[in-house]
Every structure is written in C-alpha cells, then in structure tokens.
Amino acid sequence: WLLLAALVLLMMVGLRVDFGLLLEPLGFIKVLEWIFSIFVFATCGSFRGETTLLVSCKGVANRTVTAAFAYPFRLNTVVFSAPDPNHCGGTWTDVYLVGDFSSSAQFFVTLAALALLYSSVALVVYVGYKHVYQQNAKLPLADLAVTVITAFLWLASTFAWAATLADIKVSTGANIILGIAACKAPATTCRFASVSSMKSLNVSVVSGLLNMVLWGGNIWFVYKDTKLHN
C-alpha cells in the first residue's frame, strides 16, 4: 500500500510515471523481489503454533498440556501448561521447551523488511525518476552495491534459517518427552500428541531461496546501468 501511495502521489504532483519500465528486466525483477520479501515477512514473522502432550498421573488421565510458541522462537521461555491445579500431586514442575532461535529468525525477517523497503524506494525511483537515475552515475553504483550485499545476506540468512527451522522441529517434536523429568516420576506417563503444522515456515525458506536467486540474478541488470559496464 505504501508503494501504491507513493506512485499515486508522484502522478498527483504531475511527474511523468513510466510504468512500462516495470516490464523491463530491471523493474520486473524488482517487483518480484518486493513480492517475495512480503512472503518471507508474512510466513515467518506471523507464525503461531503449539506442541501438545497427553499426561497421565495421580488422579489425572490423559490430560492435555500445551506449549504455545511463536516468532521469534525463544523456545526456552515457553512453558507447558500444568495437567491439573495440583500439578500431579506436586510431581509436575514447570517444563520449558529447549532452545533460543531468535537470532536467526530475526535476522531473516529483518532482512525481508529492509529488502521490502529498499525495493519500494527503488521502484519509485525507476518509474518516476529514471532520468535522474541514468544521469547520476552514483545512483546506479549505489544500487549495485546494495544489490550485491543484499544477495549475499539472503544467502547467509536463508541457510541459517533453514538449519534453525530443523532445530525448531526437533525441539517441538516427539523427542521432547525424553528431556522432561516430570514424565519420569512414579505413576506418571507422557505421550506426544501433536505439533502445529510448519508448512508456512517451509514456505518461508523457499521464499528466502527465491529472494537469493532474484537478488543474485539482478546484479547483472543493475551492473549494465553503471559506467563500469560501459
């Protein structure tokens, strides 16, 4: 919406806006970068899930306990609910998930937000100030530098996030029961019930890979507009 508002404002002030540039490789790829940055931000940054166990203990049979987790995935701060008000006769203590994965998640989402912002500004420049962009040699060079750096950051952040996501799945999966001391108490049994689907997080990894390819491929088209190419 901010991008559309900026383009409308350019037309309102009488500036000639050439939307045909969006069909050229430089503009079209920037539009794709803008779209897939939103995909990353939406699929990872807005994730909410929970993992569920079934607990049986003194006076309690197959009671559901849940641990709700979300972005930025500081799992070590997420505690399971108690099976009953008496905490299984005092044998059930606070049980936390394992791991703090916030650094990789925040790096990934923050990069998406910055890439979205830069793509919006670049598109406004392309369609509204193309003549300034072409006449000022520093602007294409700056665009090239940002594109190269962003492509590298997408490479680093996407692979870091993919590895982190694998760890998150382990930390919220069936193996968590092995590390819960309360489940080893006499007359207490725990069974893994379910964990929320992480398809949207898988999509975020794919979107990160697409962003990496788009920004890496765009280096050539930005380079062609610089004096280095001439």
Q: With bands split at pLDDT 50, 70 and 90, how would you rate the model's confidence at 139?
A: confident
Tell me the two tokens of residue 8: 């409308």
Percent pLDDT > 90 in the chain is 49
Check residue 20 and give its pLDDT.
Answer: 64
Structure tokens at 98: 């394992």
Domain spans in the chain, listed from the N-terminal domain onward: 30-225
Secondary structure (3-state) at 91: coil
Instruction: Give residue-wise pLDDT tens across range 204-221.
Output: 999 999 999 999 999 998
Residue 17 pLDDT exceeds 70: no
Nearest C-alpha neighbor of 225 from the set 21, 65, 56, 87: 21
Q: What's the CA gap between 108 and 87, in Å, rounded?
A: 39
Q: How many CA atoms lie within 13 A of 68 on its CB side?
A: 3
